[in-house]
């Protein structure tokens, strides 16, 4: 069996929930596909803002996974895209088709070679999974593959309630898929209420999470001279809710002078030096797990998520979470797991932070989060769902 996966960028060290989830699934599927090959088709880009070519075009390997990269034709013009994006958003769901198409081309990544490969070789794949509804390789590639395959391709949309989900050009992406793989129940509700997908086979896949053995929970704290800290792990980006997090933290943390906020990850926005805020940059896998295990709690400030792997990883090591309650997926996770608290403004952030600083409360929430992750997000659970969704049994 030959299983193909299509995503806008791929590789070790790339920060981004969809990209990390895709790589995780590709490596896992390589052990599940009987007598077969898992192949990822992607671009040579690493940066999602510029789409600058950073890898060599051609075929390489990521462990057991074959990686086929295609060159991006040109970098994204951020000023032009911003102008087109503003114009599209003036007509939510009602922009003319030509303007939506212009938006897609400005968004990118423009990768003619990848689309040509799908046009010529789509039938060679027994299963073809597209990752993330948002970018050009999926928006143009999935309908193209659907017209070439004996059966329509599968889609893991990683959708959340944002303006591009209302574009008319997105309808074929969802409605021509043979299978839809959601990352959370809230994402499933969103998509099924917005598109005509009652005929499409669907599964809430979630993710597989397992903490490695031998975590040194004190190593990260010792390296950075930390005592108690709240951890954010991910892209330091406006779209991830970082400005509000920093503002709420500054207002709430004055009463806790020994408590620090750690923002660990690739920096994609400017931040001035802030008292009590530590920025170690992108961290290694070992440092990541040490940081998670040693944190008092883990914060997830993004208003837009289809799933948050860091929240699950926090559960894997028994840590509670503090999440943005305005994000339906994160609020739903906190309610279902009982392993975290929510906030929606500076006042509720301060109240939830104060509750988390009670050692017994933090211990209880962390235990609930761990129990929920072990029950719902064990690899054995995901393996079973994948086999059913992809008809591998």
Q: What is the CATH number of the domain that holds 244?
A: 3.40.50.2000
pLDDT at position 19: 93
Is 164 part of a structural domain of the chain?
yes
Q: Are residues 204 and 320 in the same domain?
A: no
Is 319 part of a structural domain of the chain?
yes
Is 213 part of a structural domain of the chain?
no
pLDDT at position 150: 63
Range of the domain at 155: 2-208+379-389
pLDDT at position 257: 63
Q: Are residues 234 and 173 in the same domain?
A: no
d(CA 294, CA 316): 13
Q: Are residues 188 and 259 in the same domain?
A: no
Neighbours of 384 (CB within 10 A): 12
Total count of domains within the chain: 2
Q: Are residues 385 and 346 in the same domain?
A: no
pLDDT at position 271: 87
Phi and psi of 306, rounded to 5°?
-105, -20
Q: Are residues 162 and 280 in the same domain?
A: no
Is 307 part of a structural domain of the chain?
yes
The per-residue pLDDT for range 253-311, each reduced to its tens digit, is 755 568 999 999 988 888 888 888 999 998 999 999 999 999 999 999 999 988 899 99
Q: Are residues 61 and 33 in the same domain?
A: yes
pLDDT at position 147: 83
Task: Provide the whole-model pTM.
Answer: 0.86
Tokens 């997830």, residue? 300
Q: Are residues 228 and 199 in the same domain?
A: no
Q: Are residues 154 and 244 in the same domain?
A: no
d(CA 131, CA 21): 9
Q: Are residues 40 and 189 in the same domain?
A: yes
* pLDDT < 50 stretches in the chain: none
Q: Are residues 189 and 63 in the same domain?
A: yes
CA 391 to chain centre: 25
Is 100 part of a structural domain of the chain?
yes
Q: Are residues 46 and 190 in the same domain?
A: yes
Is 214 part of a structural domain of the chain?
no
Buried b or exposed e, range 305-315, using 16+ CB within 10 angstroms: bbbbbbbbbbb
d(CA 158, CA 132): 5
Is 352 part of a structural domain of the chain?
yes
Is 350 part of a structural domain of the chain?
yes
> Nearest 10 degrees: CA dihedral of 303, 238, 366, 379?
80
Tokens of 341: 């608290």
Tokens of 217: 């929970």
Q: Are residues 184 and 265 in the same domain?
A: no
The per-residue pLDDT for range 17-27, each reduced to its tens digit, is 899 999 999 99
């Amino acid at each position: 069996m030959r299983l193909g996966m299509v995503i806008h960028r791929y590789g070790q060290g790339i920060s981004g929930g969809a990209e990390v989830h895709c790589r995780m699934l590709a490596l896992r599927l390589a052990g599940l596909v009987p007598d077969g090959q898992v192949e990822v088709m992607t671009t040579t880009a690493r940066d999602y803002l510029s789409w600058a070519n950073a890898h060599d075009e051609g075929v390489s390997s990521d462990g057991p996974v074959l990686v086929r990269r295609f060159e991006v034709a040109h970098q994204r013009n951020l000023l032009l895209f911003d102008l087109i994006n503003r114009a599209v958003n003036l007509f939510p769901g009602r922009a003319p088709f030509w303007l939506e198409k212009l938006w897609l081309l400005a968004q990118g990544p423009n990768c003619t070679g990848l689309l040509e490969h799908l046009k010529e070789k789509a039938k060679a794949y027994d299963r073809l999974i597209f990752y993330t509804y948002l970018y050009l390789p999926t928006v143009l590639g999935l309908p193209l593959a659907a017209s070439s395959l004996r059966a329509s391709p599968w889609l893991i949309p990683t959708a959340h309630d944002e303006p591009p989900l209302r574009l008319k050009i997105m309808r074929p992406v969802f409605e021509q898929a043979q299978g839809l793989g959601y990352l959370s129940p809230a994402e499933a509700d969103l998509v099924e209420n917005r598109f005509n997908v009652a005929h499409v086979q669907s599964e809430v896949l979630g993710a597989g999470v397992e903490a490695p053995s031998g975590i040194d929970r004190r190593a990260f704290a010792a390296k950075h001279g930390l005592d108690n800290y709240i951890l954010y792990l991910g892209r330091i980006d406006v779209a991830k809710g970082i400005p509000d997090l920093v503002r709420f933290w500054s207002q709430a943390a004055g009463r806790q002078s020994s408590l620090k906020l750690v923002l660990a990850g690739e920096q994609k926005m400017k931040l001035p030096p802030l008292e009590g805020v530590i920025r170690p940059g992108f961290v290694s896998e070992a440092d990541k797990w040490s940081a998670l295990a040693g944190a008092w709690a883990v914060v997830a400030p993004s208003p837009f998520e289809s799933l948050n792997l860091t929240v699950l990883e926090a559960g894997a090591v028994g840590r509670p979470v503090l999440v943005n309650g305005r994000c339906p997926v994160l609020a739903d996770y906190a309610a279902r797991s009982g392993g975290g608290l929510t906030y929606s403004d500076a006042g509720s952030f301060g109240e939830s932070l104060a509750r988390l600083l009670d050692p017994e409360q933090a211990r209880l929430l962390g235990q609930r989060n761990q129990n929920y992750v072990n029950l719902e997000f064990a690899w054995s659970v995901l393996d079973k769902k994948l086999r059913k969704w992809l008809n591998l049994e």
